[in-house]
Structure 1
Amino acid sequence: MKLSVVIPAYNEEESITQTLETLYQTLVKHGIDHEICVTNDNSKDNTLAVLQNLQQQIPTLVVFTNLGPNGFGYAVRYGLERFSGDCVAVFMADMSDDPEDLVKYYHKMRETGTDAVFGSRWQKGGKVIDYPGVKKVINRVANFIIRIMMGIRYDDTTNAFKLYRRETMEGLKPFLSPHFNLTVELPLKAIVRGYNYEVVPNSWTNRKYGESKLKIKEMGSRYFFILLYCWIEKTFSRGDYKKKTVKPAVEVSR
């Protein structure tokens, strides 16, 4: 089973080298067939030049450039329309996600045959390092609202770091979110549309270089829009978008 890793990158020249080298070395160490798809989201720094140089060192690195429209969601979607693997993970360029956790996701999917694997930083075994206090409060409140409104138990919907089978990702289209609200759209659609998933504890580490692209003040209404959309689909769609299950053929004796 080939793993694709989609990484959006905007002005990440300081972080991207360590992220890609560590990710590649980890996947090779565990013998995982893979490709690393980085979408350069029209960066204004030297991100593209760094990526082109890294292609000489990392044979599984594929570089896309999204000329526009730009934004986190658009960059991720650009990669999700072009990956070649049997499953695909969204991974951050700033090394906030741990490649060893991705290996756990991958093996969990293979062992269970599940449609998706979601990470949780807040369940037993998960951890956060240098997580800003205000951001943590907002995160916990937002996820509580999502749980109550959608009637789910999963506690880390806003965590972008997740793994989906190709068939699952196809079943979540069309994508709506142009920004960070895509991180909410994908898992909620998967849940609403009947795809099964496993939850694996994961870790998160605050970036060492650059600045976060997530602007909380700008995202509140966008998160609410996509949450409301998914609630409407769950409540009123009458299962029109549900995962299609193929019934096994019944042998008829003659």
Structure 2
Amino acid sequence: MKLSVVIPAYNEEESITHTLTSLHNTLNKYDIPHEICVTNDNSKDGTLAVLQQLSEQIPELVYYTNPGPNGFGYAVRYGLERFSGDCVAVFMADMSDDPEDLVKYYKKMVEGGYDCVFGSRWEKGGQVIDYPALKKVINRVANFIVRMVMGIKYNDTTNAFKLYKRETIEGIKPFLAPHFNLTIELPLKAIVRGYNYAVVPNSWTNRKYGESKLKIKEMGSRYFFILMYCLIEKYFSQGDFMKKDLAPKKEVSR
């Protein structure tokens, strides 16, 4: 099963080389057939030039420039419309995600036949390194609200680092979120529409270079909008968007 990795990148020239080489080397070590799809989100620095150089060293690397509209969600969606693999992961350009965790996701999906594999930084085996204290408080409150509103056990919906089968991605379209709220739209739609999933502990490390693109003050209402959309679909869509030939639902696997 071919793995595609979609990576949104905006002004990541300092981080992108380490991220892509580490990811590529790790996937090669485990003989995982793959492609790495980077969406250069109209960066203003040297990100595009770095990608051009890396493409000569990494045959599995393909990259695009998103002319606009720009933003995290748009960049991820640009990649999700163009990947060629049987499954696809969303991975961060700043190396906050661990390639070894992606290998665990992939093996879990292959061995268990899951439609999705979600990471959790907050259950046993997961960890966060240099996570800002205020951001952690906001994260845990937000995820608690999502759990209570949607009636699910999964505790890290806002974690962007997840793996989906191609059929799952097709089944949760069309996408609405243009910003970081896409991180909750994808898994919540998958859950509401009956796709099964497993949860794997993962680690998160704060970026060493550049600055975070997430602006918390700007995102509250946008996350709330997506949450309400998924809640309405859950109770009022009459199952119109449900996965066909639904298998028994698998939620949390440790």
TM-score range, shorter chain: over 0.9
2:124 is matched with: 124
RMSD: 0.8
**SS of the residue 1:56 aligns to:** helix
Q: Deviation of residue 81 (structure 1)?
A: 0.1
* Deviation by residue 1:13-63 (Cα, 9 ceiling, x = unmatched): 000000000000000000000000000000000000000000011110001
1:246: Cα distance to partner?
Answer: 7.3
Cα separation, 1, equivalents of 2:233 and 2:158: 19
Code of the residue aligned with 1:3 in structure 2: it is L
* 1:37 alignment counterpart: 37
Aligned equivalent of 2:18: 18
Consecutive unaligned residues in structure 2, runs of 5 or more: 248-254
Residue 219 of structure 2 corresponds to which residue in structure 1?
A: 219
Partner residue of 1:143? 143
Which aligned pairs between 1:47-196 and structure 2 lie closer than 5 A? 47-196=47-196
Amino acid at match of 1:153: K
Provide the C-alpha distance between the structure 1 equivalents of 2:197 and 2:130, rounded to a whole number of angstroms. Answer: 28
Find runs of 4+ consecutive structure 1 residues off by over 4 angstroms.
none
Give the residue type in structure 2 aligned to 1:42: N
Deviation at 1:235, TM superposition (A): 1.0
Whole-angstrom CA distance in 2 between matches of 1:31 and 1:215: 38
- Write the distance in 2 (CA, Å) between the matches of 1:42 and 1:235: 39
Look up the equivalent residue of 2:85 and give its one-letter code.
G
CA deviation map 1:121-159 (0-9, x unaligned)? 000000000000000000000000000000000000000
Deviation at 1:193, TM superposition (A): 0.2
- The structural deviation recorded for 1:242 is 0.4
CA distance in 1, matches of 2:163, 2:109: 8
Residue 55 of structure 1 aligns to a residue in which SS? helix
> Aligned AA for 1:169?
I
TM-score normalised by the chain length of structure 1: 0.96
CA distance in 2, matches of 1:191, 1:53: 39
Native 8 Å contact 2:194 2:246 kept in 1: no
CA distance in 1, matches of 2:171, 2:246: 14
Deviation at 1:72, TM superposition (A): 0.2
1:241 maps to which residue?
241
Q: How far apart are the structure 2 equivalents of 1:24 and 1:13?
A: 17
The alignment's TM-score, normalised by the length of structure 2, stands at 0.96
CA distance in structure 2 between the partners assigned to 1:42 and 1:244 by the alignment: 38
SS of alignment partner, residue 56 of structure 2:
coil
Distance in 1 (alpha carbons) for counterparts of 2:85 and 2:170? 13
Whole-angstrom distance in 2 between the partners of 1:195 and 1:25:
31
Identical amino acids, percent of aligned pairs: 81
> For 1:198, what is the secondary structure of its paired residue?
strand
Cα shift readout 1:61-119 (whole Å, capped 9, x = no counterpart): 00111000000000000000000000000000000000000000000000000100000
Bigger radius of gyration: 1
